[in-house]
């Protein structure tokens, strides 16, 4: 069922964001190559799935995005190919997994904290003062 409250503003914001992304892709093709999309797609899917379960979606997206950045920057140092000098190693596909893993770890931790805090607020209403 379609909900009764329909927001035209959300639709217009989504269309504007898509238009900006398409404009950037046309003007800066080096940043929007297929490898970049392949690299960011698992993290983006993870972020969207986590935010759909959260009560505060924007906060969940922010936390999962920080986790994806952490996964891109820090996890390859402890990954299966420590001899590589860059985050992307051509010999392995593990580099595609690290941002999604970081997003799911940090986003999942904050989602779990949000759920546990909501349950504690139900059992102890004075904790919200």
Q: How many CB atoms within 10 Å of residue 83?
A: 6
Kindly indicate the confidence band of residue 91, based on its pLDDT and cuts at 50, 70 and 90.
Answer: very low
> Please, what is the average pLDDT of the chain?
75
Q: Is residue 10 part of a domain?
A: no
The answer to whether position 18 is within a domain reads no
Does the pTM surpass 0.75? The reply is no
Q: Which residues 6+ apart lie within 8 Å of 73 measured at CB?
A: 87
Q: Is residue 28 part of a domain?
A: no
64 vs 94, higher pLDDT: 64
pLDDT band at 27 (very low <50, low <70, confident <90, very high): confident
Judge whether 88 lies within some domain.
Answer: yes
Q: Is 4 helix (H, G, I), strand (E, B) or coil?
A: coil
Q: In this structure, is residue 17 part of a structural domain?
A: no
Residue 15 belongs to some domain of the structure: no
Asked if 54 and 60 touch (Cβ cutoff 8 Å), the reply is yes
Indicate whether 85 belongs to any domain: yes
- At CA 64, angle to CA 58 and CA 101, rounded to 5? 160
pLDDT at 92 over 60: no
Range of the domain at 41: 33-128
The reply to whether 13 falls in a domain is: no
Tally of domains in the chain: 1
| Whole-angstrom distance, CA of residue 81 vs CA of residue 51 | 31
């Amino acid at each position: 069922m379609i909900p009764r409250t329909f927001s035209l503003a959300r639709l217009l914001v989504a269309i504007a964001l898509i238009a900006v992304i398409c404009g950037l892709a046309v003007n800066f093709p080096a940043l929007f190559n297929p490898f970049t999309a392949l690299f960011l797609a698992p993290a983006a899917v993870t972020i969207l799935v986590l935010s759909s379960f959260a009560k505060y979606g924007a906060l969940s997206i922010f936390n999962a995005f920080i986790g994806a950045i952490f996964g891109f920057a820090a996890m390859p140092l402890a990954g299966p190919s420590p001899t590589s000098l860059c985050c992307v190693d051509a010999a392995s596909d593990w580099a595609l997994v690290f941002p999604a893993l970081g997003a799911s770890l940090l986003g999942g931790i904050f989602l779990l904290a949000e759920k546990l805090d909501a349950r504690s607020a139900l059992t102890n209403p004075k904790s919200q003062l």
